[in-house]
Amino acid sequence: MDDASGPASEPASGYRTAIGRVAVIGTGVIGASWVSQFLAHGLDVTATDPAPGAEARLRETVARHWPILAQIGLAPGASPERLTFVAEPEAAVADADFVQENGPERLEIKRETYRRLDAAASPDVVLATSSSGIAPSAIQDACRYPGRVVLGHPFNPPHLVPLVEVLGGDQTDEGAVAAAMSFYETIGKRPIRLRRELVGHVANRLQAALWREAFHLVGTGAATVADIDAAIAHGPGLRWALMGPCLLNHLSGGPGGLAHTLDHLGPLMEAMWADLGDPRLTPELKAILVRGLDEALAGHDRDAMVAERDRLLVDLVRQKRGTRELP
């Protein structure tokens, strides 16, 4: 049965904020990264995934992540030995204080998963989904306690990138959102509260705006894949790692701040907006993009790139945490 038997009253005592054990449902790339993050902060983790060989892959991934997490700094008592793997989601959530779900991006699977999680988890435990595209409202009415379902959408890799988008659905309690925000903050994340449901949430939509024009410029021959990536990585991307677009424009405006920038550059911004492309991911454009990336990466080792990316991310995040004025 897909739908719940009807909403039950929410727990009178609110939602758990003292988190000692986290259940991780689904241990692919995102789920395994979450597991590593939780373990590094001294939590117990119970994980589950139905895929053959999932436990071995998860433990291998945690072991691979551990050295860089140790560089960042481990919480007292943090250990990969605090990971337990179980066969069924009901067993994973039975003793959990918080649940992080990372299953397939298919609505029917999400709804059935949440029906099972809701039936087995204590009513005062928040159920958070990492979904990139499915909104809480689409899955929470499969639960008897829909008020505890929230979005907790991370960015890859979650054990290194601090951002988490938190969002409640139509039936989500404010207390569940607050509990999720508080928990993520305690494990070193930078949660932001989304105010309404959107396709792709917020940060992915901002990325999509850039991808749209990048792919358009490649498709029309205005620039190569290598040129596009260099234009961002060695130009505005450096500033975007330090501040968002609104603050960037404010600082660019000198003493006049954002108001001056909008007055001075507003007409140019509108002219560029009017000239932006509207590409489609046709087979031809896909082939151009893939071929261009292959050419740009000739002679580069993928594993070495990932290792270098992670090292630089760690350095950058550490430096950002030491800032006093940049928000």
- Domain boundaries, position 249: 203-296
Q: Is the pLDDT of residue 172 over 50?
A: yes
Query: Is 150 within a domain?
Result: yes
For the cut 50, the answer to whether the pLDDT of residue 214 exceeds it is: yes
Q: What is the CATH number of the domain that holds 273?
A: 1.10.1040.10
Of 193, 220, 252, the position where a domain reaches its end is 193
Mean pLDDT of the chain: 94
Pairing of strands 149-154, 163-168: antiparallel
> Does 207 lie in the same domain as 93?
no
At 7, the pLDDT band (50, 70, 90 cuts) reads very low
Looking at residue 8, the DSSP 8-state letter turns out to be P
Look at residue 6 and tell me whether its pLDDT is greater than 70.
Answer: no
Tell me the pTM: 0.90
CATH (domain of 42): 3.40.50.720
64 plus 175 within the same structural domain: yes
pLDDT above 90: residue 2: no
Total structural domains in the chain?
Answer: 2
Beta strands in the chain (DSSP E): 21-25, 44-48, 83-85, 98-101, 126-129, 149-154, 163-168, 190-193
Decide if pLDDT at 322 tops 90: no
Overall average pLDDT of the 309-318 stretch = 91
Which whole number is the average pLDDT over 263-283?
A: 96
Q: Are residues 170 and 52 in the same domain?
A: yes
User: Of 151, 174, 193, which residue is a domain's last?
Assistant: 193
Domain boundary pick from 140, 159, 193 = 193
Residues 156 and 226 in one domain: no
Beta bridge partners of 165: 153, 192
**What's the rounded Cα separation, in Å, for the pair 215 and 172?**
37
Q: Does any domain span residue 16?
A: no
Same domain membership, residue 287 and residue 233: yes
Residue 237 in domain = yes
Which pLDDT score is estimated for 327? 86
Q: pLDDT tens for residues 51-103?
A: 999 999 999 999 999 999 999 999 999 999 999 999 999 999 999 999 999 99
Residue 13 confidence (pLDDT) above 70: no
